[in-house]
Structure 1
């Protein structure tokens, strides 16, 4: 028995090291996207309105008319694909962070109030959550985005219209569980104000589940923004978006595949890694809630 344990120990150690290394890959990839989104526009000069037609449909690695190099090729209007990917990363990160931030704040407040107050207020808010959750989120976003003039603020509002519901439901479930705990009862008996109980004894325990949910919602928001821009009802043409770039190349998939393929790969890598990170955080905090 002792020998078997000794033989298995190096293998188990190797597996733990390999698993630890692989678990850090999403952090590295997401960090690179954030770095590219923040620093890339400072290093690459790009004007989405400028259309050098003499450089249209250049393949990756071609030389442009001004002597530069189109490392990832150009689109049908001569615009550089690498620059569009870099500026699109900034757009996706900003819209994703803004939407998740707004949604999490609204969801936290409404969910905490509903779960802690109980009674008729919880019943009304819970029914509102259920009704809005049953409504297709992307359809509501399309209606809002299509009804007004395109802008970054409008996209954030359209995507936040239903994204906050998931945060509210998670916060409500945590608040329902915590309101019956001994320390909450003790604070209530001691006369601690209800607002202080929410801020000190309820909301801090929602941090783990909310962070895990925020990563998953971030991926959904980035994908939804790309979908709206692909349909032409998201961001204005002066703001670079991966969805717009992919849509611009759909007519040239056979002759200029790089226009749609390369931004699509960049979008897929971000969504996949954010999803993996969200699963990791969900599993981690899920185990934490089950532990005694």
Structure 2
């Protein structure tokens, strides 16, 4: 096989992995594809995660009135905005309405995303250099947002996205939490006094276990908080564990019906683990 044939075959293999209508130019700009149009193992894994998440988000967007033709989506803790750009490219680009907002605290990433959107003609994308507190009331954002996303938002950034979604009465929230240290730090500090003389204390005796238990407990608390705030919650895997260890996908659908039982369980869990201070910060109940 000559060099031209090999290049043609490699290109065909890459194109076969892309979703129909996906802009190759965009993927090159995002450095998911190389300048030669190739995929390495790391970028293939990243693309697989984003595509799989897009499948969930697309279904939710189509539940917005008008099949999502005028939907609004806010990507919280957007970073380099891989997710926002791909959602716009595959869903919003073909329509004449609808808007994607990327919210990010790092100004340099916001500027780069703005420049890329301008180069690609993605004129219904806006990138905002805002904190969560600012974004909830910022004039640049509409009073309500249809879909809030947060992909691998580190530490308390997922909680920030939830707070934003509640403030904006989001129809849907799609969250993939990443590392979380806040609850683990509280466990180390308080030693979960109510459980300290029981066998359950073994769950956080070692620092590694404390971190993992803290992360798992945080996501359980987040789900209860969403249910107590009027959302139906589904928890599933994003992709196989071989692709990412941060694999939990939380999908929240607004019903407007607050579950008193979820609020009660949330309070009880916080009390058992010595975390009641979080009722004044992360998990404020109505």
TM superposition score normalised by structure 2: 0.23
Q: Provide the TM-score with structure 1 as the length reference.
A: 0.23
Q: Which has the higher strand share?
A: 2
**Which is greater in Rg?**
1
Q: Which has the higher helix share?
A: 1
Q: Which has the higher contact order (CA 8 A, sep 6+)?
A: 1
